Amino acid sequence: MFTVKAWSKGRARSGILQIVGGSSCEIAIETPALLLSTRKGLPAFISPDLLPSLPSPDSHILQFSPLHFLEGLTPETMANCGGLHQMLGLHEYGFAAVPRDSIVCLPECNGTNKIGASFETPCGRLLIKSLEYMKMISSMKPNLWATLADEVPAWVSIKRNKNSVDRTVRWLDECIALSSTGGAVFGAIVGGSSVEERRRCAQEVAKRNVSGYWLGGFGLGESMDERSPLLNAVTCMGSDLRIIYPSKSRGRFVALGFQVLQGIASGVDLFDSTYIYDLTIGGFALIFPFDQIERNVSDSQPSAIGGDQTKINLKATVYRKDISPIVDGCSCYACQNHTKAYINHLLNVHEMLAQILLEIHNTHHYLGFFRAIRQAIKEGKFEQFRQQFIENRRHQIFAASLAHQAGKSCTLC
């Protein structure tokens, strides 16, 4: 199902993930890849008839949270419909189930106990047990699914952290025992900010029959510098594994682009990110050049209009009369059909079409970034790519860290 095709000097690798969609059609996704985050299986704003306008097959792998469906769809009805592919009519798409979604379903470590994991959801705080979770999974029939995890923030006590690893491993066993579908199991790896616990958890999970790892508990308080050893501790287990790395990304892009590159450098293959959603809600559009030909950025400063050379805020009045597309030459639906001035107007009058167009463009653009990374890995230039990316944004990283130290909120939060 997963084969590594190319390695860069470090751990970064490029491969092909082959999955079987709804009506037994084969989907081949090149990794490193981005899982598009969804609400109940569909992107937040892109309706299913607009999905094919996104780059294919890159966009054909969607992430969803089974917990979303607790709002009104029972596993029985889901099973009657024949699973998620059938229910959504998206047969040429692969689905990855992850318990939490980082937007509306968040882990709540204080509520979690030995029986099950606790989540804050739109229907209140819920305690999810393995049995319940597996019922949902088997009715939805996702292509890959992560097991239940007890995710804890970086600041919890050593005892609590140890506990979370024990629980996660126990739930993994329960989930595998209860599993009745053919979907690939991704064992959850937790361990907070302790390298030892992370390693212990990874070793335990690796002993089980899993097809990949889901790295949980990131973005919950650990620093960027702490993250690399944590990632390295768990990604050193061999080449036959795929890993979903949830990046909770309510931060600046610099940090995020860096995060993704950091993850890839450590050997992470799949990324599950809410970044596009956050940008879209904030009225931002990605504009950074992601190909190797970097523009001269020395003279561009983070401007006062709420953007930088990475993204622009289309709510800004400078775009009132701007009849150019978001990115010249971008082939997405939004850039092909609409101008910055129109999107600016839509944002001003709170028309949902603004979010639709922004989500299309941002998804398109971000998938392009991943494509460029894969290209770099294949050409053996990943390290250069990464260095250049960081170099070009050094002053932004600096500004971001200053803002972080000063406790200022960033543009997106």
Partner 1 sequence: MASANLTLALYPFISDSDIFGDNLGLDEITSASQSGHMAPRLTRRRHLATCCFQMIQVQNPTNPLPVKERVAGTLSTHPIRAPLFVAAAALCFFTAAISISPVICVFCLLHQILGRFNRARAAQLTLPHFVCQTPLFMPVGTQVPGCKCCIVTVAEAFQNIVNVCNGPLRYPLRPLRNTETAVTRVNFLHTAEAGVTGTIKGLTTSQLEEIGCQIILGNTYHLALRPTSELIDELGGLHKFMNWPRALLTDSGGFQMVSLLHLADITEKGVTFQSPVDGKPMLLTPEESIQIQNRIGADIIMALDDVVRTTITGPRIEEAMYRTLRWIDRCIEAHKRPNEQNLFGIVQGGLDPVLRDICVRGLVDRNLPGYAIGGLSGGEDKDSFWRVVAQCTASLPEDKPRYVMGVGYPLDIVVCSALGADMYDCVYPTRTARFGTALIPEGVLKLKHRAMADDTRPIDPTCMCMVCKNYTRAYIHCLVTKDAMGSQLLSYHNLYYMMKLSNDLHSSIIEGQFPDGELYAYMYPLQSISEVIFIWLTLHFPLPAGLYVASYRKCSQRVMFPSGSAMPWRSLESISLPAVLNSQHPNIE
Q: Which is nearer to partner 1, 44 or 169 (CB)?
A: 44
CA atoms in the 13 A half-sphere facing the CB of 56: 8
- For residue 49, the minimal CB distance to partner 1 (Å) is 5
Please provide the DSSP assignment of 130-151 as one string: HHHHHHHHHHH--SEEEPP---
- For residue 327, the minimal CB distance to Zn ion (Å) is 5
Q: What, of Zn ion, partner 1, none, does residue 330 touch, CB below 5 to 8 Å by kind?
A: Zn ion
Select from 292, 299, 301, 263 the least CA-distant residue to 398: 301
Specify binding-site residues for Zn(2+). 330, 332, 335, 361
Per the structure block, which two tokens stand in for 26? 């084969």
Q: According to the binding rule CB under 8 A, does residue 76 interact with partner 1?
A: yes
Report the DSSP pairing between strands 26-31 and 13-20: antiparallel
Segment near partner 1 (CB under 8 A); pick from 44-52, 215-223, 232-240, 401-409:
44-52
- For residue 332, the minimal CB distance to Zn ion (Å) is 3
- For residue 328, the minimal CB distance to Zn ion (Å) is 9
Strand order across the beta sheet in which 124-129 lies = 106-107, 116-121, 124-129
Residue 407: Cβ within 10 Å count: 6
Residue 26: burial class (beta carbons within 10 Å; 0-12, 13-18, 19+): exposed
| Cα–Cα distance, 325 to 91 (Å, whole number) | 32
Binding mask 135-154 for partner 1 (x = CB under 8 A): --------------------
Out of 206, 341, 372, 410, point to the residue binding partner 1 (CB under 8 A): 341
Q: What, of Zn ion, partner 1, none, does residue 332 touch, CB below 5 to 8 Å by kind?
A: Zn ion
- For residue 357, the minimal CB distance to Zn ion (Å) is 9
Q: According to the binding rule CB under 5 A, does residue 285 interact with Zn ion?
A: no
Select from 94, 10, 99 the least CA-distant residue to 58: 94
Question: At CA 29, angle to CA 365 and CA 271, rounded to 5?
Answer: 60
Per the structure block, which two tokens stand in for 156? 């919890």
Q: Which positions from 341 through 380 interact with Zn ion, judged by CB under 5 A?
A: 361
In our burial notation (b when 16+ CB lie closer than 10 A, e otherwise), range 95-129 reads bbbbbbbbbbbbbbbeebeeebbbbebeeeebebe
Q: Which is nearer to Zn ion, 90 or 140 (CB)?
A: 90
| Cα–Cα distance, 45 to 218 (Å, whole number) | 26
Q: What, of partner 1, Zn ion, none, does residue 210 touch, CB below 5 to 8 Å by kind?
A: none
Q: According to the binding rule CB under 8 A, does residue 337 interact with partner 1?
A: yes
| Cα–Cα distance, 316 to 335 (Å, whole number) | 18
Per the structure block, which two tokens stand in for 123? 């229907």
Residues that contact partner 1, how many (by CB under 8 A): 43
Q: Which is nearer to partner 1, 216 or 325 (CB)?
A: 325
- For residue 286, the minimal CB distance to Zn ion (Å) is 9
- For residue 285, the minimal CB distance to partner 1 (Å) is 16
- For residue 175, the minimal CB distance to partner 1 (Å) is 24
- For residue 40, the minimal CB distance to partner 1 (Å) is 6
Helices H, strands E: what count in the chain?
13, 16
β-bridge partners, 6? 14
Q: Which is nearer to partner 1, 188 or 335 (CB)?
A: 335
Out of 96, 154, 254, 332, point to the residue binding Zn ion (CB under 5 A): 332
Residue 157: Cβ within 10 Å count: 10
Residues that contact Zn ion, how many (by CB under 5 A): 4
Q: Which positions from 291 through 330 interact with Zn ion, judged by CB under 5 A?
A: 330
Out of 9, 28, 48, 240, point to the residue binding partner 1 (CB under 8 A): 48
Judge contact between 21 and 91, C-beta under 8 A: yes
Judge contact between 199 and 162, C-beta under 8 A: no
Out of 218, 342, 369, 370, point to the residue binding partner 1 (CB under 8 A): 342
Binding mask 4-43 for partner 1 (x = CB under 8 A): -----------------------------------xx-x-
Site residues, partner 1 (CB under 8 A): 39-40, 42, 44-45, 47-50, 69, 71-74, 76-77, 80-81, 87-89, 122, 281, 320-321, 323, 333, 337-339, 341-342, 344-345, 348-353, 355-357
Site residues, Zn ion (CB under 5 A): 330, 332, 335, 361
